[in-house]
């Protein structure tokens, strides 16, 4: 079985984290985003540990969401006629790939897409479909009147003949390819079970973490930290050090080699590899990038995002600061702003 993961784009919405690593390699719940889907040098160790073959198909100009499939055609087609997956790299979910394969076999169409239900469909492109068969009728972009509440979840299972529809040029699979397949009654949609989140920007990244940890609580509760100083769902790498009298949670992820000193308060945040949080600091609703430091008695909140190697001095305050990598912060950030 083959899968193509779309990792193009500049990751601007998740800066400053993507100034240090490509977005698919940014940590989410203590492992790179791309590893949640798996299924260059950074990928070689994943090949060995997962026992799979990873091929990097490089584009020299932005090719949209369909062009990369044409670019990787020779890799995707092996003569077997088997379908292949296409996944967006900045989506987190339970990845019901086996159920999707069964659904694809059942309907006998050319392409399957996953859809997810949303509360406010007017913000998205809505997939209008038959509720019983799953056959897609059409797509409606940001409808002003209700036509449905299901949107494209960014996961597809395609027969090889779909590649014959895609030219070697920048192309949108959602706007140029899928509508044509739907017109021929060969496109079907399966409703996503469980949670789904596009984690391409900080606010949604933290929401996605909350949903992921809730799912982990149901499926693998042994992976979460428990104890008298833990509230709700907390994921901590084994190599992290946590001091006394801390209060951690809910919805917190602490990465490898982190040091959390005495009396620290953490809530709704991600602390990435090698971060040091000094005594009695407080971090709420924020992301602290690799090898950064939060000083003692400092307070960080309101969607603050520190890039790699950012150091906040003792007793400082960050209110929604977005700080680019390799910075020393010696004055408080009193209102949301970007520090170059």
DSSP assignments along 215-255, one per residue: HHHHH-GGGS--STTB-S-EEE-TT-EE-TT-EE-SSEEE-
Give the separation between CA 175 and CA 202, rounded to whole angstroms. Answer: 27
Structural element, H or E, at residue 41:
helix 41-50
Question: What's the pLDDT at 37?
Answer: 56
Question: Which residues contact residue 59 at a Cβ distance below 8 angstroms, ignoring those fewer than 6 apart?
Answer: 8, 67, 68, 71
Question: What's the pLDDT at 233?
Answer: 97
Question: What's the pLDDT at 26?
Answer: 75
Beta pairing partners, 277 = 260, 294
Question: Which residues contact residue 109 at a Cβ distance below 8 angstroms, ignoring those fewer than 6 apart?
Answer: 135, 181, 185, 186, 187, 188
Q: Name the residue with tokens 């540990």.
A: 49
Percentage helix, strand, coil, to 5, in the chain?
Answer: 25, 30, 45
Buried-exposed string 274-293: b where 16+ CB fall within 10 A, e elsewhere: bbbbbbbbbbebbbbbbbbb
Question: What's the pLDDT at 56?
Answer: 76
Question: What's the pLDDT at 10?
Answer: 60
Question: What's the pLDDT at 195?
Answer: 87
Going from the C-alpha of 283 to that of each of 5, 75, 294, 298, the distances in angstroms are 33, 45, 9, 8
Give the separation between CA 258 and CA 115, rounded to whole angstroms. Answer: 37
This model's pTM is above 0.85:
no
- Chunk the chain into consecutive blocks of 10 residues (it has 340) and report each block's average pLDDT, rounded to whole numbers: 63 74 73 64 64 76 87 84 87 87 94 91 85 92 84 92 92 92 95 87 92 93 94 96 96 97 98 97 97 98 95 97 95 94
Question: What's the pLDDT at 278?
Answer: 98
Question: What's the pLDDT at 15?
Answer: 77
């Amino acid at each position: 079985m083959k899968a193509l993961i779309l990792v193009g784009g500049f990751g601007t919405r998740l800066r400053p984290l993507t100034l240090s690593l490509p977005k698919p390699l940014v940590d989410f719940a203590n492992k790179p985003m791309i590893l949640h889907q798996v299924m260059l040098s950074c990928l070689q160790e994943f090949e060995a540990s997962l026992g799979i073959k990873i091929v990097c198909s490089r584009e020299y100009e932005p090719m949209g969401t369909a062009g990369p499939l044409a670019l990787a055609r020779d890799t995707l087609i092996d003569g077997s006629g088997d379908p292949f997956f296409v996944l967006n790299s900045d989506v987190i979910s339970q990845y019901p790939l086996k159920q999707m394969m069964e659904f694809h076999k059942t309907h006998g169409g050319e392409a399957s897409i996953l859809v997810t239900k949303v509360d406010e469909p007017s913000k998205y492109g809505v997939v209008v479909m038959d509720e019983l068969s799953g056959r897609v009728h059409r797509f409606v972009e940001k409808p002003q009147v209700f036509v449905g509440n299901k949107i494209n979840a960014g996961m597809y299972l395609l027969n090889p003949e779909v590649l014959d529809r895609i030219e070697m040029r920048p192309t949108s699979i959602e706007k140029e390819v899928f509508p044509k397949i739907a017109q021929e009654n060969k496109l079907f949609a399966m409703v996503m079970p469980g949670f789904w989140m596009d984690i391409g920007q900080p606010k949604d990244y933290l929401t996605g973490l909350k949903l992921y940890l809730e799912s982990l609580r149901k499926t693998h509760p042994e992976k979460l930290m428990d104890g008298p100083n833990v509230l709700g769902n907390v994921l901590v790498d084994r190599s992290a050090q946590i001091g006394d009298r801390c209060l951690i949670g809910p919805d917190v992820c602490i990465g490898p080699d982190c040091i959390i000193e005495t009396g620290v308060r953490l809530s709704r945040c991600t602390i990435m590899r090698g971060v040091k949080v000094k005594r009695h600091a407080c971090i709420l609703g924020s992301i602290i990038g690799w090898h950064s430091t939060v000083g003692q008695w400092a307070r960080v909140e309101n969607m603050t995002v520190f890039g790699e190697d950012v150091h906040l001095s003792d007793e400082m305050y960050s209110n929604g600061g977005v700080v680019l990598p390799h910075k020393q912060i010696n004055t408080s950030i009193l209102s949301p702003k970007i520090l170059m």
